[in-house]
Amino acid sequence: MNRRCILSLSTAVALGFAFLTGDAVAQQKPLKEQLVGTWTVASVENIRPDGTKTQLFGPNPKGTLVLDGNGRTAFMLMSSGRPKFASNNRNTGTPEENKATVQGTIAFFGTWSVNEADKTLITRIEASTFPNQDGQEQKRIISSVTADELRYVNPATTTGDRAETVWKRVK
């Protein structure tokens, strides 16, 4: 190959990379647009202040996170191993059944927004299964988001831990 051919080939490759980079940047949506949708929980790992890790909702948690385009949210997370009530009536559960249900479930609804600058998801809780959350604002730090997966950190859970949660987009 002569010098002119190599130079032309190098220029074409450089221009190709420039166009690819430009397209990738142009295709990057704002964080809020990337988060809109329905997500199902894949994993939740709580890290206690002493550094130990636990799975408060077990190895196979069940849950849904809905972030709609109008700024409304619904969040439900529960342990997959909660015992059924022997009476088959939620109003007549035993103290043990009620305790397992309360400790194995958290849900809330309200509104949501994002802070693009610090990559946080902000929820304003209107009502929760844990009444102490009613009226609170919470922040989740977005670790990563792709078309199919959302990872975030809750720096201050209701149990005093830090939680790392992975969600998969529902299609």
Q: Quick one: 57 and 106 in the same domain?
A: yes
140 Cβ contact list (under 8 Å, min separation 6): 120, 121, 122, 123, 152, 153, 154, 165
The 3-class SS string of 82-151 reads CCCCCCCCHHHCCHHHHHHHHHCEEEEEEEEEEECCCCEEEEEEEEECCHHHCCCEEEEEEEEECCCEEE
Confidence at residue 21, expressed as pLDDT on a 0 to 100 scale: 44
Same domain flag for 73 and 10: no
Question: Count of CB atoms within 10 A of residue 45's CB?
Answer: 15
Instruction: Kindly state whether residues 111 and 57 are assigned to the same domain.
Output: yes
Number of domains within the chain? 2
- Do 89 and 123 lie in one domain? The reply is yes
**pLDDT below 50 — which residues of the chain?**
5-7, 9-26
Asked whether residue 11 falls in the same domain as residue 88, the answer is no
55 and 24 in a single domain? The answer is no
Whether residues 17 and 43 share a domain: the answer is no
Residues 5 and 74 in one domain: no
User: Is the same domain home to 74 and 15?
Assistant: no
Same domain as 91, residue 17: no
- Half-sphere exposure of residue 170, counting CA atoms within 13 Å on the CB side? 11
The answer to pTM > 0.75 is yes
Structural domain containing residue 13: 1-29
pLDDT for 2: 57
pLDDT of residue 160: 87
The span from the first CA to the last CA of the chain, in angstroms, equals 50
Give yes or no: residues 41 and 81 share one domain: yes
